Chain A
Amino acid sequence: MNANNLRRRVDTGRLGLYTLLIALIVLYLTPIETGLVTSFKTSSAITGTAPYTPPLSGNATLEKWQIAIDALLRGMGNSLLYAVPATIISAFFGSIAAYGLTITNWKMRYKLPLLALFVAGIFIPYQAVLVPLSQFWAQIAPLEEWLSFVWALGVNTDYVGILELIITHVAYGIPICTILFRSYYKNISTEMVESARLNGATLRRVYQRIVFPLSTPMFAVVLIYQFTQIWNDLLFTLILVASESSAAAPVVLILAGLGQSLEGQDFGLRMAGAFFAALPTLGVYIMFGEEFAEGVAT
């Protein structure tokens, strides 16, 4: 076999490879493409034209987007109100827990069961804690009663749901944040930490001056991962806020019921709503794809 022949065989192989990869891209983007074009079509064009064709001049409309944004905008605000604090707090807790269980010097024999509980905590189905969770917020920690002075200031009492969502998401987010940070701390150089400790620096100082500054890349990964998770979650919002008509309703809760009526489903509105609700996580993904990939892969 001469070199030319071999080369040609490789080239057809490459061609096939790229054809396959591009065909797969078409397949992966189809649900998104058909959703996007549909969101800009008039109702008659949605049923009258092929679902993948872009809207033509007579069929194009921004009406669905306007209705969707009107319906979802307050939900966006509510979602940010709990997603941002819950993301930051759970990342911080994960970082200090991983620090206390990884870099500090105490017996592995006693660390292991704690670590096992953290790892298992990632995988617990939330269904197994829902009924007690409702009971907890109703009986043991009735925030709505405790915070009566806040409601007296004119804040809608529904916003107690936002506070409950923050605490709940922090608690259930800590295991994954801890394990992500631990995987990072296991691999950072211990020389600096050890010499600081030998020189008598406290653990707090070591965290503040050495470990925390070194954690910046992992904080990016964890914050992005957690923000996406918390923003996207529906189950807790359904249990803790319950009603999409609530003043504190998060965007996913409103979106779930959007475009459904007795007359049928308005798919243009649904698609526009879906894209609008996905904008923050899509934006984060497009800007920080690498960090997101690292977060899901660990």
Chain B
Amino acid sequence: MSRISDYLNRVFSDRTADETRTDGGVVAGEDRTERGSADRLFDRINARFGDDFVESLPFWFPPFFLVGLFVYGAILWNLLISLTDYEGFAQAPDYSNLDFEMYVRAVSDSGTVDAALNTIILLVVFTLATLIVGLGLAILIDRGIRFENTFRTIYLLPMSLSFVVTAQFWLWMYNYNSGIVNLAFGTFGIGPIDWIGNQQIVLWAVIFALMWQFSGYAMVVYLAGLRAIPNEHYEAAKVDGASTLKMYWRVIIPQLKSATIGAAVVLMVFALKAFDFLYSLTANYRPPNGADILATKMVREAYSNQNWAYAAAIAIILFFMALSVIGPYLTYQYRRGNL
């Protein structure tokens, strides 16, 4: 701290008569007419955008440029590629003949339609289930228990693991002959069930595994939301004679709206791009039959079948699905002044 105030004093005593300089830099010269045209340009830009605009550029522009190039530039480029017929081992797409052929192909390809349906099932069921389990965990942990940190750490633990790692665990859990899941069902006289091999079941098995991994995340978000609710709200509900269940349903849960929205967006967008887990189940671009989603289909079309333009078209469809989640979320955050 003393170093900072020393520095401030030094700068303060060095200040000269030139009051128009807003950046506090070295004074250009005694005669103001000698100021460079660049300085005058900067002043005009600052007058439009705000005092610190030019001086703040070196901070935010390089990162912004990288993001602009790699995220937004790449999406536009991807859109362009999706309009070509680029496939096979050619070096680069031919941009001379652009059409929507690949999108027509996507709509008429039953594999893509099935993958889109699976994507939507995964998105809806996984998000709802994870939110409900996460909320349940958060409420239990928020009841003033001992060893709260230990419980929280264990529930959140799966979230720190790679999908490649958890896929190995669940392959073993779901193993037909020796897995714990079939062992447990066996004690009730059910099964054995081929969790990964049966294409009617595999998607649900995957959703359960992903819910195991992500419910700790939802719990942490809800816990932060619960902690922000004043104690009086609980007490008021108690005084009114509401049962615990009623208190949560009527009083507490409605106040968790923004936590729910934040967590739901993260979970939904994750569901859209879930690739690592499905790939790792088979160590192949083709996930188990019945668990193909657009994210895996896109990567397979590109890097296994070299159908680059077709893959780009699927990617654009996926992008718009993500946008339909992100767009309203951004508007919501903007309205609340939260950006």
- A residues bordering B, Cβ < 8 Å? 17-18, 20-21, 24-25, 28-32, 34-35, 38, 46-47, 50-52, 93-94, 96-97, 99-101, 104-107, 110, 112, 114-121, 123-136, 138-139, 168, 170-172, 174-175, 178, 192, 195-197, 199-205, 207, 209-210, 228, 231-235, 238-239, 252, 255-257, 260, 265, 267, 270-271, 273-275, 277-278, 281-282, 284-285, 289, 292-293, 296-297
Chain A hits for B137, CB < 8 A: 24
Q: Is the CB of A50 within 8 A of B160?
A: no
Output the least CB separation between B179 and chain A (Å): 6
A-B contact pairs, 21 of them (CB 8 A): A25-B154, A28-B212, A29-B157, A47-B177, A100-B61, A104-B56, A105-B51, A107-B49, A110-B53, A121-B67, A129-B70, A233-B162, A234-B163, A235-B299, A239-B299, A267-B172, A273-B168, A274-B169, A277-B165, A278-B165, A297-B224
Take A97-B63, A130-B315 as given contacts and tell me if A278 and B70 are in contact as well, using a CB distance cutoff of 8 Å: no
Q: Is the CB of A127 within 8 A of B315?
A: yes
Q: A-B pairs with CB below 8 Å: how many?
A: 329
Q: Residue on B with the closest CB to A203? A: B55
Interface membership of chain B positions 48-78, coded 1 if the CB is closer than 8 angstroms to chain A and 0 otherwise: 0111110111111111101111111111011
The 6 closest A-B pairs by CB, nearest first: A106-B50, A100-B59, A100-B60, A200-B24, A232-B162, A171-B70
Take A100-B59, A117-B68, A128-B318 as given contacts and tell me if A260 and B283 are in contact as well, using a CB distance cutoff of 8 Å: yes
Chain B hits for A196, CB < 8 A: 4, 8
Q: Is the CB of A34 within 8 A of B180?
A: yes
- B residues bordering A, Cβ < 8 Å? 3-4, 7-8, 11-12, 14-15, 23-25, 46, 49-53, 55-64, 66-75, 77-78, 81, 91-93, 137, 140-141, 143, 145, 149, 151-173, 175, 177-180, 183, 212, 216-217, 220-221, 223-224, 265-266, 269, 272-273, 275-276, 279-280, 283, 294-295, 298-299, 302-303, 308, 311-312, 314-316, 318-319, 322, 325-326, 329-330, 333-334, 339
**Majority secondary structure of chain B interface residues (helix, strand, loop or mixed):** helix
Q: Is the CB of B276 within 8 A of A234?
A: yes
Q: Is the CB of B299 within 8 A of A127?
A: yes
Q: Is the CB of B322 within 8 A of A234?
A: no
Output the least CB separation between A89 and chain B (Å): 10
Q: Is the CB of A205 within 8 A of B155?
A: no
Q: Is the CB of B155 within 8 A of A97?
A: no
Chain A hits for B155, CB < 8 A: 24-25, 28
